Structures are given as structure tokens and as C-alpha cells.
Amino acid sequence: MTYNNEYIAAQFSLLSRLMDIHNENSFRSKTYSNAAFVIDKLPVELTDMSLAEITVIKGIGDTVAKKIAEIQASGTLEALQKLANKTPSGIFEMMQIKGLGPKKIATIWKEMEIESLGELLYACHENRLQMYKGFGEKTQQQVIESIEFYFKNQGSYLYAEVESLVDLLQQMFTENFPHNKFSTTGSFRRQDIVITSLEWVTDLSETVLHAFLEERGFRRLNDNSFVHNNQVNISFHFTTSEEFGSKLFTTTGCNEFVKSFESKYGKIMPTENESLIFQKASLPFIHPCRREYSNLDILIGVKELIAPINIKGIIHCHSKWSDGSHSLRQMAESAKSQGFEYLVISDHSQSAFYANGLKPDRIRAQHAEIDELNKELAPFFIFKSIECDILNDGSLDYSDDILSSFDCIIASVHSHLKMTEEKAMTRLLGAIQNKHTTILGHATGRLLLSRQGYPVDHKVLIDACAAHQVAIEINAHPRRLDIDWKWIPYCLEKNVLLSINPDAHHIDGFQDIKYGVLAAQKGGLTSKQNLSSFSLSQFTAFIEQQKIKRNG
């Protein structure tokens, strides 16, 4: 095997960058990055030169020449392998992000304790980067754009990321083929939180559609699948107008759902209109997002799924007091003007130093501001809350008397996320058992497509919330959607309140509520069992009722 100059230069460049990231001898690392530069520009291949010839090249020298020989013999460098073994894969991904040099990556990894691109993206959205030396608003924005680009090339997308493309394509189809039917189906129609492929059912002819798409620059992947500009894959199910409804039915539901439906109500007969299938079985229409289960009884039982319009208050958001982008006044005025009845402001607690968490004196100052704003904005109301860190031992981040000064405590884990299930459960149960805890925030800490979240025993967690009257958040950020919707039925069974919360760090973040609602619909949530659907007077009564527990 011979290695060309380009390959050898890349090895030196990688070695140099890894050394910088690991904060190793900077003189050496500079030598290697220079070598990479020189080798890349050499007019002759190194393989055609003797060691003596290589050594005298300007910018190479003895040490580098020996390393070149090592690469030529083994394909790599021992020093490089050693560093690579100590480097998480997410750090290698960061090295591909424009705007992130080794120094910045070192800060992100060692100081911010971020090891994956997804975590990094989320930290950008929380304005966390700007708090570190060398990171301005511009860098943060550039990092966001490059990471989003990187993710787009990975094949999996958040629901929120493909939504506008779906609208665009649907519009394109209906405008160009007004006499044909087009409907999304499959995982998008089921409102899956992560999407790998968009699917349509259509009665347009295959040849016509293929020609139409190819004309518009769609690349054909296989028989009925296409891709445009390296975005998400798109596939089509072709049918006739007479069988459109039945095709839509069989391609929308999961296999388990369709099978169990057919075994109970007989084989799906061709029909133009999907709702006729339900009518024929004397069933109410089952919302596409619910067609995940084989147990049809659960599906039929739920009458009215929650809708975005049922959200009455903004619970869980951050202002400039901690890591949000807007002042408390701006957040409140915006919520009020959008028709919400109240805002539960929950900035970060004191241990979240990276997020400018609130020390007791700043809590008092914030509460004074809230009191003033409440006079002015009535009947709109701002509740005093905090997103309180669950510390390593499961305790909350303030003393009892400070905790008592809040109307509502959202307890969340933000630090030491790498832990065993045992450790995670000790911390979470500690927080749930604390009489001050009102809501458990983002229960598993997951970031979709980028961070798994710590392991938890969901049933034990939900049982504890039931026992201690703690509500469980459905964090509505499209990258979180945590607790997962699959656990909603068990929460409902245990009579645990859920709460669809935007965790907004920006006024625009209020809109994320929609994604929380879409996910909650999949789990069969109704507005009665959702805390953020409580009206102002209901929410006030809820807070009063919690006081009995807190004073006890």
C-alpha cells in the first residue's frame, strides 16, 4: 500500500488538531500543521523520495521525516491513534463544523462538557456559547448553521425540520395536478417525532409523476423513491382514485395497527374515502397519529385529543435573567398578546453557572419585577418559578426558605448527565420526593438524534410522581419531546398530570408548544390531563392546592 501526499498531509493535520484539542505541546503541534501544509504543496510524491531527501525539505526536518516513514509503513501514526482513542466520536464530528477550530472545540468539550453536535446545537439555542471567551453571537450563529447542515446530511430529521418541506411539496402537487389526489401518509402522517422518509399516496400515474419530478431536479433513488438537494427521502404509493382511501389507511398505520384492525373488523375493502373504513366498522375515526398500537380499545376510548388551542399558559421559559434572549417584560407581553392567560417564568437556578443561574439576591430582585409587571399586565399573570437543578445527590439547588418563595418549582437534571440508571433514579426520586417540586422537567435529558439521555425506570418514576403529586413535563422543544409520548398512557392510568411546556429561551420558542401537542396526541393526551391547559383560575387553584403539600 502506498500513501500519497494528500493522505500523509491529512494525518499530520489531524494529529496537530487533536494535540491542540487535548492541549498538548503547542510547539510540536505547530510543527505538524506546518508539515501538513508543506506536504500538501509538494510538487513530488514523498513515496518517490529517499528518507535523506525528505529530511532536507524546508519545513520537514528529522522528526517529521521519521513520522512520514511511519505513515508509509503502517498507514497511521502511533501518537495519532493514542489521541484518537481518547477522543469521543462527537468531537470528531465537531472538527467538521465550520467556525470551530481546535481551541474552541477544547473549550466546548472540557469547559462546557459537551461531547456531541446535538448537545452543542441545543447549547447554542440556549445562548450558552456566548458566555465563554472567544465565542460571540456571530460564532454561535455560524455554529448553528453548520451543525444543522451536518445533520441534514445524516438521513434522519426532526418532525419540525421536514414540516415546511411537506407543505411546499403538497402545494406543488396540488397546483400542478389539481384533478388528482395527494395525501401524506406513513410516519409523517402519524406525526412521528423523528422522520427518515416522507411518503405520499396518489392516484396520479407513475410515469407522469416520475417525469415531473425528474424535470424538477429530484434524483431517483429506486422505483418509487426520490430525493431533492440531499434532503429527506420521498416515496410514493400509487393507487387508483377508487382505492385511494384504503391505500391511505394501509400505508398510514403501523403494521401492528393495520393487522389488528383487519383481524377484528375484516380485510380492508377498496374504498375512495378512508373514513368509510371506520364507519363500516362502527368506530369513531381514529386519528392517524394514534395508529401505532395494536390494542384498538385504547384508541377508541380517547374522545377528544388535546389541540394547540387548548394551551392556556406558558409554563417553563427563560428570560434574560438567566440564559434567555428577551427580558421578562418582553416575554410576558408577547405571551399576553398571543392570548395566553399566564406565564410561569422559570429561569435557571444558582448551580447552573453556565446559564447565569439566579443567586438568592437576584431571585428577590426578579420577584420584585414580577410583582410590578403583574400590577401592570393584569388580568394576565406571571407566576414565580425556577427551573431548579437537581443536584448530584438528588437535592434541590436552594434552601427550603428560598424554595418556599416560588409559586412553582420545575426540577430538572442539567449536570453529570452520564450516569447509571441507579444513580439517575436516586437523583430523580430525591427531587420527586422533595415537597417543593411541582413539575419534573425533561425527565430523561435526551436530545433527539444526538443524545440518548440517562437511563431511567419510567414506571418507578411515574409511580413516584403519582404518590407525591408531581406533574411530568412534556418538554415541547422538537429536539427534546421528553418525557416520550409512549409513556403518556401509563401516566394517565396513574392519574399523573402532564404539562406541555415550551422551555422557551426566546419569544419564538412559544411556538414549540405545537410540537409538544403533536407528540402528546400520539399518546392520547386530553386537555383535562394537561397542566398548561388549565385556565388562570384553575392554575391558581392548583398552586394553592400544592401549598398544602409544601407546608406539610
CB of residue 442 to Zn ion, shortest distance in Å: 6
Q: Of all residues in the chain, what percent are helix, strand and coil, respectively (each to 5)?
A: 50, 15, 35
Set of cell numbers at residue 215: 424535470
Beta bridge partners of 124: none
CB of 412 to Zn ion, least distance (A): 4
From the list 104-112, 355-363, 383-391, 394-402, the region that binds Zn ion by CB under 5 A is: 383-391
Nearer to Zn ion, 209 or 344 (CB): 344
Residue 6 in contact with residue 40, Cβ under 8 Å? Answer: yes
- 504 Cα distance to chain centroid: 13
Give 19 or 424: the residue with its C-beta nearer to Zn ion. Answer: 424
Q: Evaluate whether 365 touches 336 at the Cβ level (below 8 Å).
A: no
Strands of the 197-202 sheet, one edge to the other: 182-185, 197-202, 233-238, 225-227, 219-222
Residue whose CB is less far from Zn ion, 68 or 498: 498
- Of the pair 203, 387, the CB lying nearest Zn ion is at 387
State the minimum distance, in angstroms, from the CB of residue 488 to Zn ion: 20
| 221: three-class secondary structure by DSSP | strand
Q: Return the number of the residue (126 or 203) whose C-beta is nearest Zn ion.
A: 126
| Other beta carbons less than 10 A from residue 282's beta carbon | 7
**CB-based burial, 375-411: b 16+ in 10 Å, e otherwise:** eebeebbbbbbbbbbbbeebebbbeeebbeebbbbbb
476: which 3 cell numbers? Answer: 415541547
Query: Which 3 state secondary structure label does DSSP give 477?
Result: coil
In the bound state with Zn ion, the residue whose beta carbon lies nearer, of 251 and 412, is: 412
Stretch that binds Zn ion, among 201-209, 234-242, 337-345, 496-504 (CB under 5 A): 496-504
Which C-beta is closer to Zn ion: that of 305 or that of 411? Answer: 411
> Binding to Zn ion by residue 389, rule CB under 5 A?
no
Q: By CB under 5 A, which span of 207-215, 259-267, 352-360, 384-392 interacts with Zn ion?
A: 384-392
Q: Which of 31, 116, 250, 412 is close enough to bind Zn ion by CB under 5 A?
A: 412
Q: How many residues bind Zn ion (CB under 5 A)?
A: 3
Which CB, 93 or 387, lies closer to Zn ion?
387
Residue 387 interacting with Zn ion (CB under 5 A) = yes
Q: How far apart are CA 439 and CA 472, in angstroms?
A: 6
503 near Zn ion (CB under 5 A): yes
Tell me how far, at minimum, the Cβ of 362 lies from Zn ion, in Å: 17
Instruction: Give least dist CB 351 to Zn ion, A.
Output: 12
The SS3 assignment for 386 reads strand
Distance of closest approach, residue 468 Cβ to Zn ion, in angstroms? 20
- Supply the minimum distance, in Å, between the C-beta of residue 501 and Zn ion: 8
Name the CA dihedral angle for 388, 390, 391, 397, rounded to a multiple of 10 degrees: 20
Triad 60, 64, 70: Cα angle to 5°: 140
- Select from 291-299, 409-417, 464-472, 540-548 the region that touches Zn ion (CB under 5 A): 409-417
Contact (Cβ atoms closer than 8 angstroms) between residue 498 and residue 530: yes
220: region left, alpha or beta (phi > 0 left; psi from -120 to 50 alpha): beta
- Identity at 263, one-letter amino acid code: S
**What is the rounded CA–CA span in Å between residue 334 and residue 16?**
49
In terms of CB distance, is 274 or 503 closer to Zn ion? 503
Is 116 among the residues that bind Zn ion (CB under 5 A)? Answer: no
Stretch that binds Zn ion, among 281-289, 298-306, 381-389, 532-540 (CB under 5 A): 381-389
Segment interacting with Zn ion, rule: CB under 5 A, options 63-71, 102-110, 408-416, 464-472: 408-416
Q: Report the nearest approach of Zn ion to the CB of residue 5 (Å).
A: 49
DSSP letters along 445-465, please?
--BTTTB------HHHHHHHH
Q: How far is the CB of 315 from Zn ion (least distance, A)?
A: 11
Shortest distance, CB of residue 17 to Zn ion, whole angstroms? 32
Between CA 93 and CA 151 the distance in angstroms is 10
Shorter beta-carbon distance to Zn ion: residue 412 or 533: 412
Query: Which residues are CB-neighbours of 315 under 8 A, at least 6 positions away?
Result: 344, 346, 385, 408, 410, 439, 499, 501, 531, 532
Span of 12-20, 116-124, 405-413, 530-538 interacting with Zn ion by CB under 5 A:
405-413
Q: From the CB of 440, what's the least distance to Zn ion, in Å?
A: 11
CB-nearer residue toward Zn ion: 249 or 454: 454
Residues that bind Zn ion (CB under 5 A): 387, 412, 503
